[in-house]
Amino acid sequence: MSSGSNKVECPNCKTQNPSTAYKCSYCRKKLRGVPPIVLGLATVFLMLGGPYFLFKDKLFGAPSSTSTTSSSSPPTTPVTPSSAPFTTYLSLANIPNVPNGIFNYGGSTTFAPLRSPAVVAAINKAHPQFQLRYTKPPNGKPGSGTGIEMLIEGQMSFAESSRSVKDDEFELAKKRNFKLEQVAVAIDGIAFYVNPELIKQGFKGITLEQARDIFIGKVNNWKDVGGPDMEITPFSRNLKAGGTVDYFYEKVLDKQPLGSNVQEVTDTTGSIRKVGVTRGGIGYATASEVINQSMINLLPLGKVASSGFVSPCIDQICKAVNKTAFTDGTYPLTRRLFVVIKQDGKLDEQAGVAYTNMLLSDEGQKLVEEAGFVPIR
């Protein structure tokens, strides 16, 4: 296990974690043993803390805050999220310390299903005083990076991200005298999809290495990866477009640039349409966005050729994601989805903690599953 002054590298998945981390924020593997004193403190902690802090050690990050409040909102006061008794909340209505006001939130487009009218209505019914307002960036397109940027700048109360907070974002927050906390609320997977003609000709799947070679332009024909003699046409969003492509760039491309053979698309909908009408076409997206799509077929994926291929779908018609494979890690390209909270002891931190606790409640995790993701607990 190698480490820097501020980071510890996981020996299992090579993810860079904060130097104080006990478990890897991506694969959950232990990074170090637990000192006896920590075990004693943990006992006291579990007796007093709420589920927010229960999952904090498990998921890693650092809390946060910022808000837009209505004229009827109570004065800004220090937040005490650990004041709730230790329990697993059954419903949204059970969540304590939910503030009054209007709270801006947004960020990753992957979170769109969790911002649906049905989810917002469920939250409003449980806590009518807690009004959420989805906020887009004034310039450019929404995404994990822009959401975190708006959070740091005070334009959002909390952000949603499909990637981990980056070192420079943590540092920028520190320069403004607060910290950021990222708390995982769901598990998601990245899926590759192709034109159906490829599957009709018997193609079974690809490995992560083959996917990388396709998108960096090293492989240009499906016959070179075990398929028919057919030209490959890859489609991708711009690598600066959001958390999903940023994750793809780091975990699949190994931070190599896209090949000249890749055709750029503006969003996942455009990619699906292009792949659906392009013989030999391939694209990628968060799995929940591309299930139940008749124009494309999702590809089984393998870590290496000898490990076999695992489908991101629960069945042949791909009506839902493969929850078991996403949970146990047999599907090789999964990630966690985070709520990013601004830790400054003010009203927005309280809003972020409350929202996170809602999604981590039993009812909230059912909403997560209904949105097409895998519950984190």
For residue 277, with 0-12 CB atoms within 10 Å meaning exposed, 13-18 middle and 19 or more buried, which class applies?
exposed
* pLDDT of res. 55: 46
**Which helix (H) or strand (E) element contains residue 171?**
helix 167-175
- Give which of 1, 312, 54, 302 is closest to 183, Cα–Cα: 54
**Which helix (H) or strand (E) element contains residue 213?**
helix 208-215
Q: Give per-residue pLDDT as tens, 31-52.
A: 665 444 444 444 434 444 444 4
- Could you give the domains of the chain? 92-188+335-371 (3.40.190.10), 189-334 (3.40.190.10)
Query: How would DSSP label each residue in 233-294?
Result: EEEE--TTS-HHHHHHHHHTSTTPPPPTTPEE-SSHHHHHHHHHHSTTEEEEEEHHHHTT-T
Percent of the chain with pLDDT over 90: 68
Ramachandran bin of 184, using left for φ above 0, alpha for ψ from -120 to 50, beta for the remaining angles: beta
- Rounded to the nearest 5 degrees, what angle is found at the Cα of 377, between the Cα atoms of 169 and 10? 50
Which two tokens mark 51?
A: 């589920």
Ramachandran bin of 142, using left for φ above 0, alpha for ψ from -120 to 50, beta for the remaining angles: beta
- Angle, helices 117-126/362-370, rounded to nearest 10 degrees: 170
Q: Give per-residue pLDDT as tens, 266-307.
A: 889 999 999 999 999 999 999 989 998 999 999 999 998 888
Residue 260 phi/psi, 5-degree rounding, is: -70, -15
Is the CB of residue 279 less than 8 Å from the CB of residue 197?
yes
Pairing of strands 301-302, 206-207: parallel
**Between residues 11 and 329, the one the model is more confident about:** 329
**Between residues 70 and 153, the one the model is more confident about:** 153
Which residues is 191 bridged to in the sheet? 285
Pairing of strands 233-236, 281-286: parallel
Average pLDDT over residues 53-82: 41
Which residues is 341 bridged to in the sheet? 158, 181
- What's the mean pLDDT when you consider all of the chain? 84
The dihedral formed by the CA atoms of 68, 70, 75 and 76, expressed in degrees to the nearest 10:
-10
Residue 272: CA count within 13 A, CB half-sphere: 17
Strand segments (E) across 11-117: 16-18, 101-107
Q: Give per-residue pLDDT as tens, 204-240.
A: 999 999 999 999 999 999 999 999 999 999 999 988 8
Average pLDDT over residues 308-330: 93
